[in-house]
Structure 1
Amino acid sequence: MPLRYLIWDEAGKIVKEGDDRSTLATFPSQNNHFLWLDIENHDKEEIEWLGKVFNFHYLALEDCITLNQRSKLEEYDGYMFFVLHLSSLDSEGRIETEELHIFLGSQFIVSAHNKPMEIVDSCIARCKGEPHTLEKGCDFIFYMLSDTLVDRYFPLLDKIEDELDDLEDKVISNPTREFLSKIFLLRQDLIALRKIVGPLREVFSLIYRRDYGLIKEKTFLYIRDVHDHLIRIHDMIDTYRDMMGNMLDVYLSTVSNNLNQVMKRLTLIATIFMPLGFVVGFFGMNFERIPFDSNILLLLALFTCLLLPSGMIFWFYRHKWF
């Protein structure tokens, strides 16, 4: 279990950092210090150890062990427990989700995740490089983590928007089956994002509407900004879903129109050859002997075979049926 921690004082000065358990066992008694503990690739034994050190409720610990939880906020005696979700693209360009579990107390914050998370690394690096962020307290670190997590959704939505713009250009000019498959893949991605962002927005809506003592008023202003970003992301997802629905309607209309054009051309061809069939059938059925030796009749038949389709083609052209 990769484990790392930062311990700092009220001035934001880091007094200790490391990866040993022995220091953590005595931390709760250090009333004038603050702690950020990050645990990666945790298993049941390590989560149980975490519960013993910090006296976490077993229901919260159970949620850490059992993945695929819904984003949520739970308030316990002296701390809050969060389940947050980060979305990213896998090697095939499809959306995958990672869970981040956070315990937030007045003097500690514990983050637990099953895979390496770049957002955690960047926040730890920021705390080390900007000590004044630690001075603002554990609730501000929670804001940093959540803000970085939420901001990772914007590149995903920008990518989806670019693909929608590309498909929008092709929907009329070249509506192929490949277009239809891409639309359904994007639709699946947006549905997956909506299922993730919806509960995530509810979490920050709860923080926005209620007064939690562990989140100070100064930090609340920053949390409100995260809430605004989630509302914007949710609206963007709904907008893109509407765009896909409209493009699908345009695609089906274009395909139907192309089919109608094909049927129209076939009908025109059949209409042009219909009088020719009549003339040829008339000569073939009403004469015992085809009068090829009569130049006048032969020329009349040939002239009729040329004049009728030519006249019909001209008439169709004048009425813009071609």
Structure 2
Amino acid sequence: MPPGSLVYVGEEHKEEVTISSIEFNEHEVNEKQHASLDDLKPMIHSEKITWINVNGVHNVEVVDAISKMVGLHPLTTEDILNTEHRPKIDFFENHLLAIVKMIDLEQDESELDIEQVSFILLENTVVTFQEKKGDLFDPVRLMLKENKGKIRKSGADFLFYSLMDVIFDQYLIIMDEMDDRIATLEGNIMEDPDNHSLQDINEYKNTILQLKKTVWPVREVVNKLINRKVPYISESISFYLQDIHDHIVQANDMVETSRGQLYGLLDVYYSTLSMKMNEIMKVLTIVSTIFIPLTFIAGIYGMNFAHMPELSLSWGYPAVWIVMIIITGIMVMYFKKKNWF
């Protein structure tokens, strides 16, 4: 298809696309849970700071209508509709497009829930496009409603930073959770390695690989955001953007550390499994060694010769048992003295 063709790329969703909006300044906040396209037109050009949040990008007509209101290029709209897009940032004369990934990890799951979020930043407006309803932005909504911090005293660029910061903080939370899981898994492997442990290692390796693909490109996005001077991003938030950069660097370092831990854990698994097998073989060898002389004695008296003096003696049978018990006791004492078991 020609460039700029508007086609949704991603998982199939049947939910209705919903739009919410928040208009605010230092003195008041107006929120709409279900805004229509007609409601958005005056908001985009309002003197108040506006945050428009679109839940769902599978409805091409809705995304296209909002994009035209904002004045996006068709290629930009095409990127928003492609939920498999690599994280990126593009700067234009009066707006920017930033695409990042929002991640979540269930308590008992190893697979990441990855959702694409597209940001459009204008002078007084932030538009966010999400794949589905539900996000990490409730702390920002709470700060707006309760007038906490400096978010209502600042512009759209600070709102943009606050939303991005929530997403990137989640990266660190997920990495802390993965570190705890890897530490628990290491303890289980040291105690009792089994096939389930190997399966967990492989699942965690896939999770870390997903994190690497998600987090690593964001570093480039933040670097461009810090170094590019545009009129709709004020110099006053440069320090906050640097804080985001530090978080991303830390997240990348944690990803690489966890990745190395998993490869080391794989070596520990095989080493522990080998040690466990060696212990089993040692026990079996000791048992076999003890039975060698006993088998020798039993073999001698199992021969069918007619003239074997001991066979005719009344104390022959108990004597053989006594000899066998003495030999077994001597061998066990010897092995114990050598600390072989």
Counterpart check, 1:310 vs 2:325: no
The alignment of Structure 1 onto Structure 2 pairs a total of residues equal to: 319
- For 2:41 and 2:198, the matched residues in 1 are separated by 57
- For 1:15 and 1:22, the matched residues in 2 are separated by 20
The alpha carbon displacement at 1:202 in A equals: 2.0
Counterpart check, 1:25 vs 2:41: yes
Partner AA of 1:105 in structure 2: L
CA deviation vs aligned residue, 1:261-305 (integer Å, no higher than 9, x gap): 111121122222212222232333484244322357666644543
Corresponding residue of 2:139: 122
Report if the CA contact (8 A) 1:6-1:14 is conserved: no
Partner AA of 1:84 in structure 2: V
Report if the CA contact (8 A) 1:8-1:35 is conserved: yes
Distance 1:308 1:119, change over 3 A: closer
- For 1:235 and 1:91, the matched residues in 2 are separated by 23
Distance 1:125 1:297, change over 3 A: closer
Report if the CA contact (8 A) 1:8-1:14 is conserved: yes
Corresponding residue of 1:241: 259
Distance 1:161 1:252, change over 3 A: same
Corresponding residue of 2:14: none
Corresponding residue of 2:216: 198
The alpha carbon displacement at 1:119 in A equals: 2.9
Partner AA of 1:294 in structure 2: L
Q: 2:202 aligns with which of 161, 169, 184?
A: 184
The alpha carbon displacement at 1:27 in A equals: 5.6
- For 2:324 and 2:44, the matched residues in 1 are separated by 103
Partner AA of 1:159 in structure 2: E
Q: 2:71 aligns with which of 41, 44, 55?
A: 55
The alpha carbon displacement at 1:139 in A equals: 0.8
Partner AA of 2:21 in structure 1: Y
The alpha carbon displacement at 1:310 in A equals: 2.6
Distance 1:306 1:3, change over 3 A: closer
Report if the CA contact (8 A) 2:172-2:247 is conserved: no
Distance 1:92 1:314, change over 3 A: closer
- For 2:321 and 2:137, the matched residues in 1 are separated by 87
Corresponding residue of 2:192: 174
Counterpart check, 1:292 vs 2:311: yes
Superposition map of 1:87-126 within 5 A: 87-90=103-106, 93=109, 94-126=111-143
Percentage of pairs with the same residue: 25
Shifted more, 12-21 versus 266-275: the winner is: 12-21
Q: 1:260 aligns with which of 271, 275, 278?
A: 278
SS in 1 for 2:229: coil
The alpha carbon displacement at 1:133 in A equals: 1.8
CA deviation vs aligned residue, 1:208-248 (integer Å, no higher than 9, x gap): 34434432221111011011111111212222222222222
Q: 1:38 aligns with which of 34, 49, 53?
A: 53
The alpha carbon displacement at 1:89 in A equals: 2.6
Unmatched tracts of structure 2, length 5 or more = 1-16
Q: Which structure carries more helix by proportion?
A: 1
Report if the CA contact (8 A) 2:44-2:50 is conserved: no
SS in 2 for 1:191: helix
Partner AA of 2:113 in structure 1: E
The alpha carbon displacement at 1:161 in A equals: 2.4
SS in 2 for 1:119: coil
- For 1:104 and 1:316, the matched residues in 2 are separated by 77
The alpha carbon displacement at 1:96 in A equals: 0.3
Partner AA of 1:152 in structure 2: Q
> Structure 2-normalised TM-score?
0.83
> Structure 1-normalised TM-score?
0.87
